[in-house]
Amino acid sequence: MNEKKYVKEVGRHLHCSKEKRREIERQLTGDIGAALECGETLEEILERMGTAKNVAEEFNANFTEEDKKDEKTKKSTARLIFDIVIMICVAAMVIAACINGGNALKKHFQKKDNIKQEASGGQKKEESKNSGDASQKAGQPQVEELKENDADFSRENVQNETKRLIECFCNEEYEQMFDSGSGNFKKAFGGSYNESVWKSAKEQIHTDWGAFVSYGNVYMSKIEQDGRAYVMVQMNAAYENVSVTYTITLDEEMKLDGFYVK
């Protein structure tokens, strides 16, 4: 199945407005395109994402009533595929606190690192007969699904910390989140806490989220680079008036190293 057919097949199983369906199809197309640019093959991408029907069912399970009825495009999209595309290719998982003239970041927190990395010229590749995988270029992150018996991270601890951070964000306990951040994370904010940045970012997603309803699926990926290990978690949360996808990165000390919300 090619990219276009896959995206259309997902759309065919969505139970939402026509405009919402088109929005999701555009985002899926963009995500797949970004993954291809990061070096994944289409076969690997589709295998990671799962069948078109399963992807659509995850969207359907988290649609609000407005998603199903409203023909207008909403700012927030329930994107439940494991979109590790943007963040797996960066050198350090940090948030970019983009403030322009005192205004908070546009619509959501954005990464400030370039998603494309190139190895130094002349770097020779090594072949592994056991794995059959092509060797990694110098500095390129190694990414895999977080295993139950991982030596660096406990899946239970990671999930609990992720939920705690999400609850802090929803309850506007932003300073607690900032204090939980790594050195890189705090540096991205200029080293000091600024409540207006966090509050504005949340309001730009939706001014009234409503009460929390439920969490969706949880995806965890371990990233190793330059002797450092990170875990990236993507979790969807449904509220009365909006569905939100969180992508949170933690370092080996369980410090918040990246926060992306849409």
Q: What is the pLDDT of residues 126-176, one digit of tens each?
A: 444 444 444 444 557 788 889 988 989 999 999 999 999 999 999 999 999
E strands in 63-204: 95-96, 110-111, 142-145
**Burial track 61-98 (b if 16+ CB lie within 10 A, e otherwise):** bbbbebbeeeeeebebbbbbbbbbbbbbbbebbbbebb
Quick one: 194 exposed, middle or buried, by C-beta within 10 A (0-12, 13-18, 19+)?
middle
User: How high is the pLDDT of residue 113?
Assistant: 38
Q: Domain map of the chain by residue range? A: 3-69, 86-113+137-261
- Look at the chain and count its residues: 262
Name the CATH architecture for the domain at 86-113+137-261.
Roll (3.10)
pLDDT at 197: 83
pLDDT digits (tens, 9 = 90+) for 163-197: 999 999 999 999 999 999 999 888 887 888 888 88
Q: What is the pLDDT of residues 208-237, one digit of tens each?
A: 898 998 888 888 999 988 888 999 998 888
Which strand (E) or helix (H) includes residue 44?
helix 42-49
Report the range of poorest mean pLDDT among 13-22, 111-120, 227-236: 111-120
Q: 73, 87, 55, 71: which is closest to 216 by C-alpha?
A: 55
pLDDT at 69: 61
pLDDT over 70 percentage in the chain: 72
